Amino acid sequence: MRNIRYLCLSDLHLGEEDSLLTNVADPSRPSPVVRSLAECIAEVLRHNQPDAPKPTLILAGDVLELALETTQRALAVFEQFLWSAMPANGELFGEIVCLPGNHDHHMWQAAREAQYLGYLGRLAPGETIQPPWDTTKVVMDFAGKDRLVSGALTAIARRLPHLRERGFEVLTAYPNFGIRQDGRAVVVTHGHFIEPAYRFFSTLASLFFPAQTLPQDVYTLERENSAWIDFFWSTLGSCGRIGPDIESIYEASGDDSSLHRLTDTLAHSIAVQYPLPKWAPRAVREWVLEAALHEIAGGVSTGLERRQAASDTILGPDSAKGAHWYAEEMLRRQFQQETGSVPDSLTFVFGHTHKPFVDRWPAASVFNTGGWVIDAPRAQPLHGAAAVLAGEDLSTVALRFYNEGTYQVRVEEPLAPGAAHSELHDHLSAILKAQPQLWKEFGETVHTEADLRMAALAARLNLRSKAAGAAH
């Protein structure tokens, strides 16, 4: 059916200076890309039938940049995003569901703790206290007891007078949000768990204690790795003056030469300040440290989005293996445990990699939403962003907004060999053809803003390289 019921975006990284959705020239106003994106989405939704309910916006993780920017900056830019997406008398969406990712995982911790406090307050005297919940259900009853509100995002939404008047709430799910209809299901997740870096504590435990196997369900996976994700990937933006230093390392992770300059500076500092072993000449100690740190930095950074963006494959071997494992084992196991059955047809939607694509696996139709942040000082052709749209019957297509270097909007759908496109695909294709100027102007806006951020990132990397060289 042609009515859009769900629209999914991810990896907005609001607040991050390299995000196309952050107005770096004037943080008090929505960025040009946000305004243009809202116009394009409004045009698509305008073709829903007049009596159709407004669709649900699903924000699939890394909505806020909490690892590299301060909380207040990220929330301020989220407010600007809402002014464009939810204007008075023209709100594009009926509800918003936010799934935290690795860069805003702390939003899940806050919602989880608020949920647990509410539970404790309802306990009767003498009733047994249950442990906190590590995840939400894969299919949630938002009209009932499963309803979970994001306190911070709701507070920001209610700074808009018209949203405050109607008591608008931003809802939360983690790590999976599923919509099920008959034998069909669409499941959205951020996607960080496909990367070994975000399963690190589980892997570490299995190495120390070989009898302890890797997690077989999402509950254990989150429980064992939650503190690691929260500490290292989601709260560093609030570490004062250390935060910008961490950002320098993160930005350099996508460029070998920049990363090596940083590790060479570290090797020099260690060799000078800690001259061990004393019998070895400093030049020898420094050379050994440089070689070792190059290897360590390369290994540690392989799971970082900036590193992934710099590669020339959609999914590396570990990520591809992890994606299949998560969709075909972990998700299906969660469905079985919580609902007693597995969907006949599964659509798996995730982001995290910043590289949009569609694919068809034997067990699932797959969509990646890409991302809206510039990860490198030069165009990465596989890097871009898409929205995933689902109709009333859960037919699902992608609206590819851009790839770096190719700023043209198109509709995509993973099809079995010989299969015809869906009605939803043809409907969206007709909308694109009917308003070519709108979509052309959107591409031009993204192109201009992407070039500005690439140039700014290149300038920062060059400046830091010179500083590292001077220190060395």
What does the pLDDT average to over 196-207? 84
> Does 342 share its domain with 447?
yes
**How sure is the predictor about 186, in pLDDT bands with cuts at 50, 70 and 90?**
very high
What integer pLDDT is reported at residue 1 of this predicted model? 56
> Does 27 share its domain with 137?
yes
What is the percent of the chain with per-residue pLDDT over 90, rounded to a whole number?
69
Indicate the pTM of the whole model. Answer: 0.87
Distance CA 302, CA 158 (A): 39
> Does 333 share its domain with 254?
no
* Domain harbouring 219, CATH code: 3.60.21.10
**How sure is the predictor about 293, in pLDDT bands with cuts at 50, 70 and 90?**
very low
**How sure is the predictor about 267, in pLDDT bands with cuts at 50, 70 and 90?**
very low
> Does 79 share its domain with 202?
yes
Range of the domain at 181: 4-232+315-451
Domain count, the chain: 2
> Does 67 share its domain with 208?
yes
How many Å from the N-terminal Cα to the C-terminal Cα in the chain?
63
- 298 burial (CB, 10 Å; 0-12 / 13-18 / 19+) is middle
Tokens for 454? 């690439």
> Does 225 share its domain with 107?
yes
Q: Are 411 and 425 in contact (CB under 8 A)?
A: yes
Distance CA 21, CA 425 (A): 26
> Does 110 share its domain with 31?
yes
> Does 200 share its domain with 104?
yes
pLDDT digits (tens, 9 = 90+) for 404-425: 999 999 999 999 888 899 999 9
Q: Are 170 and 157 in contact (CB under 8 A)?
A: yes
> Does 108 share its domain with 77?
yes
> Does 156 share its domain with 192?
yes
What integer pLDDT is reported at residue 40 of this predicted model? 97
Cis status, amide bond into 277, omega within 30 of 0: yes
> Does 95 share its domain with 127?
yes
> pLDDT averaged over the chain?
86
Q: Are 120 and 153 in contact (CB under 8 A)?
A: no
DSSP 147: -
Name the least confident of 13-22, 295-304, 376-385, 437-446: 295-304
Tokens for 261? 């300059």
**How sure is the predictor about 60, in pLDDT bands with cuts at 50, 70 and 90?**
very high
> Does 280 share its domain with 374?
no
Q: Are 235 and 74 in contact (CB under 8 A)?
A: no
How many other CB atoms are there within 10 angstroms of residue 342's CB atom? Answer: 15
